[in-house]
Amino acid sequence: MTQDETNTSNEQLDEAPVNDPETFGGCPVCGKNDGYLNNGCDHWFYCEAHKIRWCFGENLFSSWKYETEEDFRRTRELLADYEVAPCKPFRDPKTN
Ligand SMILES: [Zn+2]
């Protein structure tokens, strides 16, 4: 994962493939991600192989609005023992 400056906009986010590490960050070990899960309005991307997760942001995708407390609870259980990794900033103050 690089700390490249990004100009990602919300429109680009909607079109970006969800597993794209360039947009959403990647596992510090293998550089990939396995998509994301919502805990409330927080979006957690994760790498299943290395049990690493990183919070990409909140309320960037509308998917969380269609999930229930039960879904969030399952997400918390699943990701509870994952290690938290830093995520590259979605909006870098230098470029946005
Ligand atoms: Zn990994």
60-92 pLDDT, tens digit per residue, is 999 999 999 999 999 999 999 999 998 765 555
Distance 47 CA to ligand 1 centre (A): 5
Taking the whole predicted model, whether its pTM rises above 0.85 is answered as: no
CA of 92 to the centre of ligand 1 (A): 24
| Ligand 1 center from residue 50 Cα (angstroms) | 4
What pLDDT is recorded for position 70? 98
In the chain, the amino acid numbered 69 is: E
77 Cα to the center of ligand 1, angstroms: 19
E strand or H helix at 35: none
State the distance from the centre of ligand 1 to the C-alpha of 42, rounded, in angstroms: 21
How far is residue 75's CA from residue 38's CA, in Å, rounded to a whole number? 7
